[in-house]
Structure 1
């Protein structure tokens, strides 16, 4: 397979379709990341977003405007769905191309001074993600994937290793969508079960960072309940291209796309050899009285 270098900072990538889109997404994410990093310790406005404790800052808006502008300049016919500004319709065509932009995944962390946040960009063709980028401004590291072309990080190709869950229990990450009520019985049952049986359950408030940890093999699994749609395609593509398996909570097929209600966005993800164990772990929540 022909390999080419994306830029001075990037790894060698296969010469597959969507390389131009990938290159643009990486560059835009890195540019937005530099902006966020430069303003992280400065002053900015913070506003409530919805009624469930989420927030939006000036940094979200500045980074989003930058990314949306770069995408629109390069691919003016494509639709864009951004976290803060909503949708920018694209030109009509036989197959819809939609960019998903999460300019600051971890806004709540930033507001309390916690340097745990990333930039996420994805491109979906129809309902399927074909490009995914996650950039960490704090460490200035980027992880990205092209559908069918693999996942890559600063050190090159990402491939989850073959070791199994340690005897002390798995290291897991958890996320739930903002639409999930605090007293949602299914969410509570799942979390209680995971906390009881995992070595550690990470709740980072930045799902894309959890996806990058999983793709790198730094954690054993990731469980999501009614996850947010804006960042799921980028993270799931990155993980899948690194060799991670993703299933619905009942063990069935999981489709990561734009369509469908949030009830279709519950998942368990991990190494293929660990999936039976992880599904059994998630299934244990039914003993708490929730099906």
Structure 2
């Protein structure tokens, strides 16, 4: 680690470089380094994720994350951290450290501080990135990370849910195939509130190690899913959480002009209950649901998976009925 800071000119030769581990995340080692020149964040990819089930992933994914952050910085400056340098040998990189004025959005939501305006900003931000990268042949080549996306997202989420629920494989596996073969935009792959900081000038996207040129529906469904899960966890706050659901997708679709919105919204809606089921029975279950809430989420996700022609409005209405305070 000392080598990379010296090579970047961020540390002096006589200066100790000491890293302090930061909490959060299951896929990487994340550290804070305080030097005379300032504070920095170092991220190093792990070959095995820190979850109960075995989950092995290629460490080369770190270079996809670096590429995503640099690409997004050109499109939405100030809404992703700046990459300051990388180290191929250790599969790590240095980025700017964002201080306490940046609040973790997951923590805010779970604490009951729910602001649909933030969700609207996230939807607009994601829409701008997708719109600016749509049908870009150069980015499609740079981010042809199909194997990484399968190992990080499709297999541990949807395929694993099909393993747990073989009777639903006929619903879940076609979602995997369709998503894997739809290539439209630069996809973040982990648009989750835990990877979003609410900052003074709007949201900041983190943790883009699942970056892939693929289906924009995945990013949208992945984020919308978290409002549903938190509504199940906090039914007294289901109404403002579902207002976030509406605000985010409304702002996003206002930017989506690269394909027919009806087709895109249909893919988001059909993918959403599969991802919901995956967050209780996949390799990365959410940690905050009680067992009764987990059972309710599972039952509703299965019910929705079996429906044809599902819409986002129907999903939100179903969730509101199930989890109203």
Q: Give TM class, smaller chain.
A: 0.3 to 0.5
TM-score, normalised with respect to structure 2: 0.31
TM-score, normalised with respect to structure 1: 0.34
Max Rg structure: 2
